[in-house]
Structure 1
């Protein structure tokens, strides 16, 4: 059962990072600009973040396996459309929209099913370790795999590869994945809440993207996004007072363990995708490396991430989840500093290896315990909601990572391009410190899972 679930997380993470090494090839082939392709990448990540909460809620109404199947089908169609795209608009429809929607439908069931079918810290650590490892490998190895396919065949073949993997997942999930809970077609769906949550997240990320064009526009969009999300929260609380079921139970936001765990998840994916974006752009634009060379260099991060993820079950038995998250952030921040120092004193390609390895090792070491902390904070009745919220927060981190890094690179804040890339990495390290602080607020021994208040 874990094989199709882990592959599902892999392909979605792969899609979010492999286009970083195909930017130049896609822009030349589709007669567009690098900024246009970057926009497609950002929209893909944004669609995932905006729709993950509604996607998680739909699993209760239509069933976790059905949502997984529909999500995979939509994703596969989007990948095929992207493979034959004649221009940027069609690529955005296939990759950014359809693949984003498919991801929002299929990822929540992956985490809900894993939580329901595996009990106990060690068992869930093993399961989430496999899924997180494949997700992290997809994000970290995306540049290498995408680079090999792009250089060896074409960037279009990378989307065909995605479609083939999705077809394999559909076959495996049909045979091996079982839904332990029946669907409830009578379960209400809060359409108004879904619109408010998606709109708030869209405004928030668009504000970050507008930072290099207009400071006042950025502030306006960010404030508007925050206000819409506040409206969403108060509307949810009003529904609960009336005995109605909102999109998200407000009990999710009163759990301090889950709240700090969600912050760590957001920062982890923000740093991972931010580093991937900055280093990929630096290697191609400043060093002049091609897609394969860029991907090979990223192998160091992939190895570190795979190594720490595979040790998740063993470490969960020996160390508290909080300690693993703290250590992960410390190693990741150290990796960024080592990266900056090494490339500053050496022009050798080997100078990239130590820092990237440490970054991968640190992030891989805390992905699993963070997910375990959040998912285990709630009972079965809230798994659909917390899974959607958890994945939304993580994918919001991914979109913010690319947005923040890209904004710094094009804002012209430094005198030389090299310093702009260094500044972007320093900002990511500072954000990593914020994640370290949040991890320090996690309880050493998590409390018992919460359940929804009776209506």
Structure 2
């Protein structure tokens, strides 16, 4: 099929499909971050604690991460469009249920479970279909750029949009908005999205592998959440999670040796560029969610800001992401992906340093804005290249698996960001120096950025996308 018209634009149907994919990534990222500015409102309304709302947020991110690999595998068996629509319907149902939640338990069922499962089903098809429908390198980079940019915007604009809605109406209205956007995506997807590959019901599904992979990830993140309460329990859960994941890989190897279909092919881990790209994805989303959670909690708990005031502060980050996203395609044509990722980490770490330097020495809120703006610039500039590095490292028949693995690793980063920073904050607030806890939490986020920077340094020098949509070696 022709991917560009004579004007350089995608055909109408393909453009509508891309809008649906970008909106789907936006709403999932929005759902993960907009709760941060509503922590105080939700905890008061549902008669729970800040830690209770944090648990709901972390569980949402964890369910996504734990089920993303199985979700990616199901696309081969039941079809990518079918999984996309089903995931959207589950997500929308969870959003509606959450909007009427009378207590924390129902909120967890609607938000953490239903929206989490829905996201795990709908996100892998978004990236698989993008890879299949946008065939040449230039078109695919442009499409991934739009989707990743909307994901980044959803994550950093979530506090602003959620804060405005919570202040003007209610935090419950934010969930109604999610349901309405999901309905629009369903209607658009039914008409514009097509699946180039037919589903294969003969493809077996590795139930044991799905259970082991999900259980291992959950044990590790829950262990981090419990770090402040019981260090021994934390160690035990993290070790148990590592053992379960090791057992998962043992079963995968056994299935491959016997000629059976595993949940995840070990060939996905033999590609150096992809492995390093996955590390950068994980640390990027840890920084997105970790910094958002720390700053949001600080503004509400320490400064006493309401939802709209807290969201307004994040306008600086949103503007930074928008600016860097606007130049993403142009930069991808001129610079290797490795260079863009390295620059993104360096700029983001510099933004955190600026935030701590200016924001920590002044009581005026404007002092936080330069650091948040620079953080947005860095994050927006490196999200797309990391996706491209990973997704483009494998042929079509492995797109279901690598898409599930890629999204799982990214969402695991988000859940680790919320769990790690939340644990540091709870320990600090309960201790003798609560103000220092926020500094330590942001330092931990910067430390994760250093890990991502090192991984990016060892990425092989890739290709620069040429103006004609092809590529040239560097």
TM-score range for the pair, normalised by the shorter chain length: over 0.9
Q: Distance in 2 between matches of 1:30 and 1:406?
A: 20
User: 1:265 touches 1:394 (CA, 8 Å); kept in 2?
Assistant: yes
2:294 to 269, 278, 299: 278
Q: CA separation in 1, counterparts of 2:455 and 2:111?
A: 34
| Counterpart for residue 375 of structure 1 | 391
Alignment of 1:98-137 (within 5 A): 98-137=114-153
Q: Which residue is equivalent to 2:435? A: 418
TM-score (norm 2): 0.93
Q: Cα distance, 1:25 vs. partner?
A: 1.1
Instruction: Select which of 248, 253, 266 maps to 2:269.
Output: 253
Counterpart in 2 of 1:182?
Answer: 198
Aligned to 1:440: 457
1:122 Cα offset (Å): 2.7
1:65-214 aligned at under 5 Å gives the runs 65-214=81-230
Q: Is the 8 A contact 2:428 2:436 kept in 1?
A: no
d(CA) in 1 for partners of 2:384, 2:91? 25
Q: Unaligned 5+ residue runs, structure 2?
A: 1-16, 464-474
Once the 2 structures are TM-superposed, how far is the Cα of residue 416 of structure 1 from its aligned partner?
A: 2.2
One of 18, 33, 58 as aligned partner of 2:34: 18
Q: Is the 8 A contact 2:316 2:369 kept in 1?
A: yes
Whole-angstrom CA distance in 2 between matches of 1:342 and 1:359: 14
Q: Which runs of 5+ in 1 are unaligned?
A: 447-455
CA distance in 2, matches of 1:352, 1:324: 25
**Counterparts of 1:268 and 1:96 in 2: how far apart (Å)?**
22
* C-alpha distance in structure 2 between counterparts of 1:329 and 1:116, whole Å: 29
Q: Who is 2:420 aligned against?
A: 404
Secondary structure of 2:227's counterpart equals helix
1:276-315 matches, within 5 Å, as 276-315=292-331
- Alpha-carbon shift at residue 311 of structure 1 (Å): 1.7
Question: How far apart, in 2, do the equivalents of 1:433 and 1:331 lie?
Answer: 11
What is the alpha-carbon distance in structure 2 between the residues aligned to residue 121 and residue 295 of structure 1? Answer: 37
Give 1:399 shift.
0.2
- Report the alpha carbon displacement of residue 129 of structure 1 after superposing the two structures with TM: 1.1
TM-superposition CA deviations, 1:29-82 (whole Å, max 9, x none): 111122111111111111000100000000001110000000000111111110
Q: Distance in 2 between matches of 1:412 and 1:275?
A: 16
Query: Where do residues 312-323 of structure 1 align in structure 2 (5 Å cutoff)?
Result: 312-323=328-339
What's the counterpart of residue 355 of structure 1? 371
Q: Are the equivalent residues in 2 in contact too, given 1:298–1:356 (CA < 8 A)?
A: yes
How many Å separate the matches in 1 of 2:34 and 2:18?
23
Structure 1: distance between partners of 2:445 and 2:45? 32
Farther off after superposition, 397-406 or 111-120: 111-120
Residue 453 of structure 1 corresponds to which residue in structure 2?
A: none
Structure 1 residue 87: deviation in Å? 1.1
Cα distance, 1:125 vs structure 2: 2.0
Distance 2:272 2:432 in 1: 43
Question: How far 1:240 sits from its partner (Å)?
Answer: 0.5
Bigger shift: 344-353 or 241-250? 344-353
**How many residues of Structure 1 are paired with residues of Structure 2 in the alignment?**
446
Secondary structure of the residue that 2:195 maps to in structure 1?
coil
How much does 1:415 deviate? 4.0
